[in-house]
């Protein structure tokens, strides 16, 4: 039985680091394991200009533990007023690696997102021209659409039309939760990819709702039925270069998770790699873990894989169940299964 596993150092292609005290509390957990991460721009207020992205990057770098080797890959939050020249300049300087599309109202801090897609047409055209990828939160917000169908309807109503209108645009359908999304990505040309979170490989909607409501499993897109979870496992463990890790690790204090209307997000940064090793081993795919965590993402983003490595050993991991912040604890995602691999 394999006892150690050495991988090129992983990257996280979808991460929420927040700001201020929360940033200082959560960043060490990502920087300990990941070399780079695509940093989500849904702060309050959102990161919409190149100047704001540069200032946010500097705050992240200032919050890094001494000696940490971690590069934040910045993104801009797409609004109907985003200035294509500002975005193109931020891309040309190497500051930003992607632009993030939130349909207005889809999730945490998405109020400044897009409602009228005609207003972002010049931006999308420019991004296709300059090769700047679009990260998408793939859910429609139409209240008439059932929350469990919002991703599949987004593909039909929003994503497919965008891809037809801008065939050269590189698009990442983020945190996919359905078999429909996995099939759609597989059937598309190579300029479409998908990220998959750790938690969506582990939980289905029963974990959230059966036998009592478990707010710490509530995230968006919400976990779907078991057939979809199994489809995500097949996609992630397949080695197909279009699927790669984006944890969507999204910290909220317990106080904010446990409200009558609690926040969406699972905080997986501390135990993601232990959980993934378990998942890939269960599916007899440990030899394809590195593709998912460390190779497919950089290839899609046109970056070299990391030349350093990380080693996992067959020992149950130890990590805190909660991490402290000045505003109260943040609960670490509970995978509800025994874990046998730790990062050494």
Which residues make up the interface to Zn ion (CB under 5 A)? 248
Beta carbon nearer to ligand DOR, 69 or 146:
146
Beta carbon nearer to ligand DOR, 246 or 297:
246
| Beta-strand pair 330-331/322-323 | antiparallel
CB of 257 to ligand DOR, least distance (A): 10
Closest CA to 241 of 200, 202, 186: 186
CB of 42 to ligand DOR, least distance (A): 5
State the Rg of the chain over Cα: 19
First to last CA, the chain: 18
Residue 185 touches which member of Zn ion, ligand DOR, none, C-beta under 5-8 Å by kind: none
Residue 107 touches which member of Zn ion, ligand DOR, none, C-beta under 5-8 Å by kind: ligand DOR
Rounded to the nearest 5 percent, the helix, strand and coil shares of the chain are: 40, 15, 45
Beta carbon nearer to ligand DOR, 228 or 288:
228
Closest CA to 107 of 144, 148, 140: 140
Given a contact cutoff of 8 angstroms between Cβ atoms, the answer to whether 73 and 97 are in contact is: yes
By CB under 6 A, name the binding residues for ligand DOR.
Answer: 16, 42, 107-108, 137, 219-220, 248, 250, 264-265
Given a contact cutoff of 8 angstroms between Cβ atoms, the answer to whether 14 and 51 are in contact is: no
CB of 138 to Zn ion, least distance (A): 11
> Which helix (H) or strand (E) is 180 found in, with range?
helix 179-187
Beta carbon nearer to Zn ion, 240 or 248:
248
Residue 132 touches which member of Zn ion, ligand DOR, none, C-beta under 5-8 Å by kind: none
Kindly list the catalytic residues. 248
CB of 45 to ligand DOR, least distance (A): 14
Residue 342 touches which member of ligand DOR, Zn ion, none, C-beta under 5-8 Å by kind: none
CB of 2 to ligand DOR, least distance (A): 33
Question: ∠ CA 344-66-95 to the nearest 5 degrees?
Answer: 100
Beta carbon nearer to ligand DOR, 42 or 306:
42
Closest CA to 122 of 174, 75, 173, 78: 78
CB of 40 to Zn ion, least distance (A): 5
Beta carbon nearer to Zn ion, 139 or 248:
248
CB of 96 to Zn ion, least distance (A): 17
Closest CA to 335 of 236, 243, 201: 201
Given a contact cutoff of 8 angstroms between Cβ atoms, the answer to whether 250 and 18 are in contact is: no
Residue 265 touches which member of Zn ion, ligand DOR, none, C-beta under 5-8 Å by kind: ligand DOR
Closest CA to 194 of 154, 241, 230: 241
Beta carbon nearer to ligand DOR, 73 or 285:
73
Q: Which position has the token pair 């934040």?
A: 72
Residue 42 touches which member of Zn ion, ligand DOR, none, C-beta under 5-8 Å by kind: ligand DOR
* Cα–Cα distance for residue pair 7/119, rounded to 1 Å: 43
- Judged by DSSP in three states, 195 sits in strand
Q: What would you measure as the largest C-alpha separation in the chain, in angstroms?
A: 56
Question: ∠ CA 155-97-139 to the nearest 5 degrees?
Answer: 20
């Amino acid at each position: 039985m394999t006892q150690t596993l050495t991988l090129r150092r992983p990257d996280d292609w979808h991460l929420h680091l927040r700001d201020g005290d929360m940033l200082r509390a959560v960043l060490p957990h990502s920087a300990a394991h990941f070399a780079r991460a695509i940093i989500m721009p849904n702060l309050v207020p959102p990161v919409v200009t190149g100047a704001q992205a540069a200032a946010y990057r500097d705050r992240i770098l200032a919050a890094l533990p001494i000696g940490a080797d971690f590069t934040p890959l910045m993104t801009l939050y797409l609004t109907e007023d985003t200035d294509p020249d500002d975005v193109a300049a931020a891309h040309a300087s190497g500051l930003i690696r992607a632009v993030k599309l939130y349909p207005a109202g889809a999730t945490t801090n998405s109020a400044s997102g897009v409602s009228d897609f005609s207003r972002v047409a010049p931006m999308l055209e420019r991004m296709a021209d300059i090769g700047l990828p679009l990260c998408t939160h793939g859910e429609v917000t139409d209240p008439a659409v059932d929350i469990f169908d919002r991703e599949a309807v987004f593909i039909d109503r929003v994503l497919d039309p965008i891809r037809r209108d801008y065939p050269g645009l590189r698009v990442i359908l983020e945190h996919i939760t359905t078999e429909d999304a996995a099939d759609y990505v597989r059937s598309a040309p190579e300029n479409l990819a998908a990220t998959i979170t750790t938690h969506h490989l582990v939980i289905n909607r029963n974990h959230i709702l059966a036998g009592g409501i478990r707010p710490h499993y509530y995230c968006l897109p919400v976990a779907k039925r078991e057939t979809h979870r199994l489809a995500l496992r097949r996609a992630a463990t397949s080695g197909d270069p279009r699927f790669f890790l984006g944890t969507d690790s999204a910290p909220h204090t317990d106080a904010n998770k446990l409200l009558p209307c609690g926040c969406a997000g699972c905080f997986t940064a501390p135990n993601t790699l232990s959980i993934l090793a378990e998942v890939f081993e269960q599916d007899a795919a440990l030899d394809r873990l590195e593709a998912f965590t460390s190779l497919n993402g950089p290839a899609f983003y046109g970056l070299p894989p990391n030349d350093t490595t990380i080693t996992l050993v067959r020992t149950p991991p130890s990590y805190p169940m909660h991490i402290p912040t000045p505003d109260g604890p943040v609960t670490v995602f509970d995978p509800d299964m025994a874990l046998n691999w730790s990062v050494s």
